[in-house]
Structure 1
Amino acid sequence: MTRGIGPIEPGEETHARDTAHARPRGRLARRYDRHRRAVLASAAALVVLAGGGYLYASRPEPGPAPPPPYPSQVVDVVYVAPVAGPPGDRAGDFSFSVLLSVRSGPPVTVTRLTQPYDGLSVTSSPRAPFQTKSHSARKIIFTIRVTECEKAPRNLSLPFLDVTLRNTRAIQAHSFILGGRYAQDLSEALEVACSNDSR
């Protein structure tokens, strides 16, 4: 007698089904299957649409637009050079050109252009008020007239222009320092104007 394990017999429910002898499904069952798939696809589409609608309806309301920048934050004034003054200039009048540019935001209007020194007055071309649009620059010629040499400054180191700016956010008075070249050109022009005046 031999001992050992005999052949393994299949257990319950382990037999492969014989598909050749399976009963064919009826037309009604096949139709039910197709209908069921269509219903499930439609239900999935409705769930997706409902979820999207909910997300759209519950989105946060956009806040108010940020205010535009202050005009002094977006304006640059750069000294260019002395220029020949307009016809009819008196002795003691001298003209300079600057470039005023607006980097961003709404248009900026120059409502006033002055200088802080006694004994001098200033006019501009174009005359204030004038407007400069965003992302553009405008050439301004300003003419300084010596009204009293005794009060006119000498040997200026950091002369500046006072410019009043306005946009949709604010009106601001701002002083622009035009740099060393402007200081030198203005000092020389004042020297010439007042030395002629003293004769």
Structure 2
Amino acid sequence: MNAIGPVEPGEGTRDQPLHTEATGGSAARPLVLFYRAHRRAAHGALAAALLLAAGGYLYASRPPAVHPVRAELPFPAQTVDVSYLGEAAVPPGARPHSFAFEVLLGVESGPAVTVTRVTQPYDGLSVASTPPPPFRTTPGAARKVVVTMHVTECGKVPKDAGLPFLDVTLRNARAIQVQSFILGPRYARDLSHALQVACSNDFA
């Protein structure tokens, strides 16, 4: 008798689970290892980036290096001396209520020094010098400088200058400094007299 029924699989052809190991066995290990390797590489790259950023910050915030040659040079104020010589003739073309003094500026040693500015502490006086700044003096040499003062407002200058000084801005290969030079009692006396003459009506 012929009969048609469900087809039975032949020997050795029954359905088998398709490599159940693929979901949890040895076939999954390459994927896990691949993932772990990439994760380690990402962590390593992040750590390297953080180290580079920290190194860049430390490099940018480091203190400036001192040039060894400049560090051995003296500061300009250590090598310059200014002394008072006395009253001087007022340069031609000076304004009324002006007077002048002569000082000697010497550089004892070290590199050459440039004077970039000459000022004084009183608001009612303006200052000019001959030669005009900037002027340069070499070591072992001295230069006479005529300092001309002009009274701009008598109410802002003292009747008696007790301890006047000159502020001189000095520059050499090491640094720039503002140094105050006290020129002594003779300068204080001559300055007080000049101020009284220039502002005689105000001081009377």
TM-score (norm 2): 0.64
What residue is the counterpart of 1:130 in the other structure?
135
Write out per-residue CA displacement over residues 95-129 of structure 1, whole angstroms, 9 at most, x where no aligned residue: 00000000000000001111111111100000001
Out of 107, 115, 119, which is 1:114 matched to? 119
**Using the alignment, how far apart are the partners of 2:97 and 2:178 within structure 1?**
27
**Using the alignment, how far apart are the partners of 2:146 and 2:179 within structure 1?**
18
Give the number of aligned pairs. Answer: 137
**Using the alignment, how far apart are the partners of 1:86 and 1:121 within structure 2?**
15
Pairing 1:182-193 to 2, within 5 Å after superposition: 182-193=187-198
**Using the alignment, how far apart are the partners of 2:144 and 2:112 within structure 1?**
16
Distance apart, 1:65 and its partner CA: 8.4
| Secondary structure in structure 1 of the residue aligned to 2:190 | helix
**Using the alignment, how far apart are the partners of 1:140 and 1:67 within structure 2?**
29
**Using the alignment, how far apart are the partners of 1:192 and 1:66 within structure 2?**
48
AA at the equivalent of 2:188? A
Out of 168, 172, 179, which is 2:173 matched to? 168
What residue is the counterpart of 2:163 in the other structure?
158
Distance apart, 1:197 and its partner CA: 6.3
**Using the alignment, how far apart are the partners of 2:87 and 2:69 within structure 1?**
46
Aligned CA distance change for structure 1 residues 144 and 134 (closer, same or farther; 3 Å): same
**Using the alignment, how far apart are the partners of 1:192 and 1:64 within structure 2?**
51
**Using the alignment, how far apart are the partners of 1:188 and 1:116 within structure 2?**
17
| Secondary structure in structure 1 of the residue aligned to 2:122 | coil
**Using the alignment, how far apart are the partners of 2:95 and 2:170 within structure 1?**
29
Distance apart, 1:90 and its partner CA: 2.7
**Using the alignment, how far apart are the partners of 1:158 and 1:65 within structure 2?**
35
Deviates more, 1:63-72 or 1:153-162: 63-72
CA contact (8 A) 2:159 2:203 kept: no
What residue is the counterpart of 1:146 in the other structure?
151
Task: Structure 2: give runs of 5+ residues left out of the alignment.
Answer: 1-67
What residue is the counterpart of 1:97 in the other structure?
102
AA at the equivalent of 2:131? P
**Using the alignment, how far apart are the partners of 1:197 and 1:101 within structure 2?**
37
Question: Sequence identity, in percent?
Answer: 61
